[in-house]
Amino acid sequence: MTPPTFSAVVVARDEERNIRGCLESLAWCHERILVDMESCDRTREVAADLVTRLVPQVWVPHMEFARNRGIEAATCDWILIVDADERIPAKLAHRLREYLEADPGVGCIWIPRMNFCFGLPVPNAGGFPDYQLRCFRRGAGEYPDRLHSAPVVEGRAAYLPVREDEWIVHDRQGVAVTDMVLKFDTYAEKEARAQIVDGQSFAGPLALLWSGLSAFRFRFWTAHGYRDGMAGLVLSVLFAFYRIEVEAKMWERSGYGPQWDRDVRRLRSGPRLTAALANEGIRRLWKRLRASRSR
């Protein structure tokens, strides 16, 4: 049997700090396609001797469209989607080749990913194994033009078993708190814009507070983010900030409507705030139960 060939597709914008490590970890791929979205730094220069093809792309609000440009340019049997701040360890590369040779009928592979925050692993707050659909047969899939969407792929899906160092390493090099805040702010702007396009609107102050508290509760307590130490705590807070900022940007796009001011004033004491949030939680739970029963 002929060994499978791989086209790695990387989308980047101003990633000179990360792009070399990413592409060096993809040296085993037969093609390394960089889709550059109008980088203003040295991303292209750093990547020039490490890529087999550079695809220029005007900046778009989210990278799914740009990923499809790279997929269209690929010529190998398999597409491997990698972000500029990710690495593919040698063990994972070997495992992918081995897996596809043993099961040539599979159409796509979900790969585990280990997330790092400030250079420290955060398996709990980061949701490990955080499976990502990043490897699929050429011609079998593409991304919908929607933020944070997985590709729509034809064929049988397989999940790569979790084994030591056989996972995507997601670690932005030299990241600072400011970098993380700016990254979350960028994503919040994109998500708020997408929700407006979908016809959604700001749901009020309780939705804003609940979204942040719920995100923190899930990351820090439910997912045991506290086991990741300070990195887990900070990441949990940043996820809460992200959810709150999405709602705040929805309010911003409503024209800073004052119709919510009365509801905010009703939360003027701790007991009232606690009761309001409890009622909001019950309302959301009831809505979820009704939706599940109607299926």
CB 181 within 8 A of CB 172: no
Distance CA 199, CA 145 (A): 16
Q: Are residues 162 and 24 in the same domain?
A: yes
Distance CA 108, CA 150 (A): 12
Give domain status of residue 250, yes or no: yes
pLDDT at 87 over 70: yes
Give domain status of residue 288, yes or no: yes
The pLDDT assigned to 275 comes to 92
CATH number reported for the structural domain that contains residue 157 in this entry: 3.90.550.10
Q: Are residues 13 and 129 in the same domain?
A: yes
Q: Where are the alpha helices (DSSP H) in 154-228?
A: 177-197, 205-216
Q: Are residues 93 and 164 in the same domain?
A: yes
Q: Name the token pair of 214.
A: 């719920």
- Mean of pLDDT values over 147-176: 93
- Least-confidence region, from 65-69, 109-113, 287-291: 287-291
The pLDDT assigned to 65 comes to 92
Q: To 10 degrees, what angle do helices 229-253 and 205-216 make?
A: 160
pLDDT at 295 over 80: no
| pTM, 2 dp | 0.91
Q: Are residues 109 and 185 in the same domain?
A: no
The pLDDT assigned to 175 comes to 85
Q: Name the token pair of 84.
A: 């500029």
Full domain range(s) for residue 125: 6-170
Q: Are residues 220 and 133 in the same domain?
A: no
Q: Are residues 155 and 254 in the same domain?
A: no
Give domain status of residue 1, yes or no: no
SS3 for 93?
A: helix
Of the pLDDT bands very low, low, confident and very high (cuts 50, 70, 90), residue 173 is confident
pLDDT digits (tens, 9 = 90+) for 220-240: 999 999 999 999 999 999 999
Domain boundary among 146, 170, 194: 170
- Higher-confidence position of 283 and 241: 241
Q: Are residues 139 and 226 in the same domain?
A: no
The pLDDT assigned to 191 comes to 92
pLDDT digits (tens, 9 = 90+) for 193-223: 989 988 999 999 999 999 999 999 999 999 9
pLDDT at 105 over 80: yes
Domain boundary among 119, 140, 170: 170
Q: Are residues 199 and 276 in the same domain?
A: yes
How many structural domains are present in the chain? Answer: 2
Distance CA 189, CA 212 (A): 16
Domain boundary among 132, 154, 170: 170
Q: Where are the alpha helices (DSSP H) in 15-163?
A: 19-24, 43-47, 64-73, 90-102
pLDDT digits (tens, 9 = 90+) for 16-55: 999 999 999 999 999 999 999 999 999 999 999 999 999 9
Q: Are residues 73 and 150 in the same domain?
A: yes
* Average pLDDT of the chain, as a whole number: 94
The sign of the torsion formed by the CA atoms of 58, 188, 34, 20 equals positive
